[in-house]
Amino acid sequence: MPRLVLIDTADQLPGLLPLHAWSALMSSELVLVADEDHPFVPHLDMAELRFEVLPPLGEESVSLAGIDLMGGGDPRLVRRARHVVQRVQETDEVSYLFGPRDDESFTQVLGMEAARAGIEVEVVYFMAAPKGLRLLELVGVEQRLRGPDGCPWDREQDHRTLAEYAVEEVFELIEAIESGDSAHIREELGDVLLQVVFHAQIAEDEGRFTIDDVAGGIADKLVRRHPHVFGDVQVADAAEVMANWDELKAAEKPEREGVFDGIPAGQPALGYVRKLQSRAAKTGFDWEADGEAADRIRLELEEFLAADSDAQREGEIGDLLMSVVGLARRHDVDPELALRGAARRFRTRFEAMAASAARPLPELSREEWLELWNQAKAAES
């Protein structure tokens, strides 16, 4: 009995198939693929397997006689299915490799046509696709965009021109995290991931490094710095994990001599201050208790109020903000996120005040402003 083996493939992993799928291919007299761009074609060629590329969809030289298409079926799919059936009948043992443009409707049509012709059909599934498979798809998409027939804008970019987008996407991710909207977080993570892939493709085009170098570098680093997971080191808690991390990091980068080496000065000021203080604290330069940190805040506030020039006030405000960051750091509060949260609450309350005001905002008295503010604040809880 003629036999048709339908083999599922993963477009992002051309050449990779389960052993039983490769066994089916090797035992087939003929392998059919839908088009010459099928990702498996080079691997069939290397394996020296006999294969054929089907004619363009709808141009197969077979008849549609006897088929009722009144139900809305696509005659092109029926014609293609009949072409495959014909090749099975002529060859006896044929495998068909599903490709990027095959869909479930064609699978159904092909199955019905094969059954009608008395052909034995076996389906070999790819099984469980490995995690991260679509990351490879993203890499391929960006490679195409940067290619000769890709996007003119993508081809013009370099690391410097993309830098502003990386910063922008990170802040949009932070905003999504603050919203708690999973769909929004997922989308913004994708935009951040694109920046990584984009920069890696630029480097590959220039012959400097590839996305595999990027991924391999961070994977190796994570393994090295987690000996309690990938080795035999024992740790008691997260604090000990961080202590080990810092020791391993220092050993990997002996060229760093200063306490603050490696801290990027271009990051947002609150984060920059927090990082500077954290490094200093590791040397022993830190408050012993929250009370000392609070006293410093009060002192800096008094010095600001006593300042008698713009330059002095600017300096004292900076000292005051640093003291507040120091108190936040002692309680593992991210000052950037805390301030963004306060800004979000302020915006929400003010917009609620504006919506509920009986008169134009500039005409409100101080008492009316305070009443509206308290109402907006109470409505949040």
pLDDT digits (tens, 9 = 90+) for 75-85: 888 888 899 99
The sign of the dihedral angle between the CA atoms of 201, 203, 206, 209 is negative
Specify burial of residue 315 (Cβ count, 10 A radius: 0-12, 13-18, 19+).
middle
- Name which residue leads in pLDDT, 176 or 255: 176
Contact residues for 362 (Cβ-Cβ < 8 A; gap 6+)? none
Hey, what domains does the chain have and what are their CATH numbers?
3-124 (3.40.1010.10), 133-224 (1.10.287.1080), 269-333 (1.10.287.1080), 340-380 (no CATH)
For residue range 291-343, what is the model confidence (pLDDT) as tens digits? 999 999 999 999 999 999 999 999 999 999 999 999 999 998 999 889 988 99
100: pLDDT strictly greater than 80: no
Return the exposure string of 132-153: e unless at least 16 CB atoms fall within 10 Å of the residue's CB, then b. eeeeeebbeebeebbeeeeeee
Q: Is residue 63 very low, low, confident or very high in pLDDT (cuts 50, 70, 90)?
A: low
CA distance 206 to 161: 16
Average pLDDT for the chain? 88
Lowest mean pLDDT among 69-83, 299-313, 338-352, 360-374: 69-83
Residue 261's pLDDT is what? 85
Q: What is the largest CA-CA distance in the chain?
A: 100
Q: Is residue 255 very low, low, confident or very high in pLDDT (cuts 50, 70, 90)?
A: low
- Name which residue leads in pLDDT, 35 or 65: 35
Residue 297's pLDDT is what? 94
Arithmetic mean of pLDDT, 264-282:
88
Chain-centroid distance, C-alpha 49? 38
Which of the residue ranges 37-46, 125-134, 252-261 has the most confident prediction, judged by mean pLDDT?
Answer: 37-46
Cα Rg, the chain, nearest whole Å: 32
Residue 71's pLDDT is what? 46
Residue 66's pLDDT is what? 57
Arithmetic mean of pLDDT, 118-139:
84
Which of the 8 DSSP states describes residue 31?
E
Arithmetic mean of pLDDT, 52-75:
69
Residue 254's pLDDT is what? 66
Q: Is residue 126 very low, low, confident or very high in pLDDT (cuts 50, 70, 90)?
A: confident
For residue range 220-246, what is the model confidence (pLDDT) as tens digits? 999 999 999 998 889 888 888 888 888
Arithmetic mean of pLDDT, 10-39:
85
123: pLDDT strictly greater than 60: yes
Which of the residue ranges 90-99, 207-216, 285-294 has the most confident prediction, judged by mean pLDDT?
Answer: 207-216
- Name which residue leads in pLDDT, 207 or 8: 207
Residue 131's pLDDT is what? 82
Arithmetic mean of pLDDT, 263-271:
86
Residue 79's pLDDT is what? 87
Conformational region of residue 361, where left means phi above 0, alpha means psi within -120 to 50, and beta covers everything else: alpha
